[in-house]
Structure 1
């Protein structure tokens, strides 16, 4: 009897090691992106940067907005908000899309010594053409006041995004990528 119980126990142990245990399937992140939708910012300190241009592009997994600046940008804040407002006046600017990203750069759109404009779009409510983009719906220039400039980006939904700076000797580019989906 003891031999029979030992044989049964041994067979049971062998059977459990041969049975493949299914692993739980986890969805891979969209396009490998692991971004979030919380605010991204860098510390605001004195800067000599000025806004020069804004442009946009489409990529396979995200839409991209680039703010071109002359000089070394030393501070920005990008976050989802319930509404965006003009700099200085505080007037609400409605944006197309279901979510609004507010972008603040610590750089004016004018020369601080002469007051001459360094960035003045012909249409403040549509600063780049985003027709046909999967995520972007509208990009607006909210103005420049007391050394900082603001932009509003209307997007299809509250989607993950990332921000980063590209710098060389004389220019800085603030890049904002917004994913097409989660």
Structure 2
């Protein structure tokens, strides 16, 4: 699979057990919202692997054109996560024709509503938050295409970094995804094709 645009280079993966940034394999995946009895986040955190090659950074990253400047006709179809030996992964998959949209990802202390400016409630789980914005509807309904069929919220259990992933909002063709993690960690973003996927990898090796 070809990497079309990325914060740093990334080997292709669908969120399953394929190779990732460090060439590691053996991922576990989650593509549905856990039941109420499974939403508690364990207090014990997996021990970081000392053999991981660091990648990414905590700095903001994005495309040359901002989300509102480069809108795309693709629409969201599913949302899932995967746990690899050296990173946790979030994958938002898209359907339909179109170009890669403008996008921007940055850490923020508080996730706020795009239109209201008020803090998102309920707040995402985690101690640090990545705000991901992209110039495409996560759901196809506003443009007469199939509705989003994936979960709008994921509460990963047993992941080193991920605490919650939630689709936040969409306005005038620009959508937002919030990612809650245990602490501020290096991350990277890549776009893959066939089908289009936006992939966010959060480094979980020794910091």
The two structures have a TM-score, normalised by structure 1, of 0.73
Work out the CA distance in 2 between the residues paired with 1:38 and 1:59: 22
Q: CA deviation digits over 1:33-60, x for unaligned, max 9?
A: 2321101101241311111111100000
Work out the CA distance in 2 between the residues paired with 1:112 and 1:96: 29
Query: What is the aligned partner in structure 2 of residue 22 from structure 1?
Result: none
Query: What is the aligned partner in structure 2 of residue 100 from structure 1?
Result: 129
Query: What is the aligned partner in structure 1 of residue 59 from structure 2?
Result: 38
State the shift of 1:137 in Å: 0.6
Structure with larger RCO (C-alpha < 8 A, sep 6+): 2
Alignment of 1:101-116 (within 5 A): 101-108=130-137, 109-114=139-144
SS at 2:52 equivalent:
helix
**61 and 151 in structure 1: CA distance in 2 versus 1, 3 angstrom threshold:** same
Gaps in structure 2 of 5+ consecutive residues: 1-49
**78 and 30 in structure 1: CA distance in 2 versus 1, 3 angstrom threshold:** farther
The count of residues paired between Structure 1 and Structure 2 equals 148
Work out the CA distance in 2 between the residues paired with 1:57 and 1:34: 17
Work out the CA distance in 2 between the residues paired with 1:88 and 1:52: 24
Greater fraction of residues in strand? 1
Alignment of 1:13-32 (within 5 A): 31-32=52-53
Work out the CA distance in 2 between the residues paired with 1:30 and 1:78: 27
Work out the CA distance in 1 between the residues paired with 2:150 and 2:78: 9
**38 and 32 in structure 1: CA distance in 2 versus 1, 3 angstrom threshold:** same
State the shift of 1:119 in Å: 2.1
User: Contact (CA 8 Å) 1:87, 1:149: kept in 2 or not?
Assistant: no
Work out the CA distance in 1 between the residues paired with 2:147 and 2:100: 15
Work out the CA distance in 2 between the residues paired with 1:83 and 1:120: 28
**148 and 117 in structure 1: CA distance in 2 versus 1, 3 angstrom threshold:** farther
Query: What is the aligned partner in structure 1 of residue 43 from structure 2?
Result: none
Work out the CA distance in 1 between the residues paired with 2:82 and 2:93: 14
Q: RMSD across aligned C-alpha pairs, in angstroms?
A: 2.1
Query: What is the aligned partner in structure 2 of residue 82 from structure 1?
Result: 109
The two structures have a TM-score, normalised by structure 2, of 0.65
State the shift of 1:110 in Å: 2.7
Gaps in structure 1 of 5+ consecutive residues: 1-28
| Larger Rg over CA atoms | 1
User: Contact (CA 8 Å) 2:78, 2:148: kept in 1 or not?
Assistant: yes
User: Contact (CA 8 Å) 1:140, 1:151: kept in 2 or not?
Assistant: yes
1:58 and 2:58 are equivalent in the alignment: no
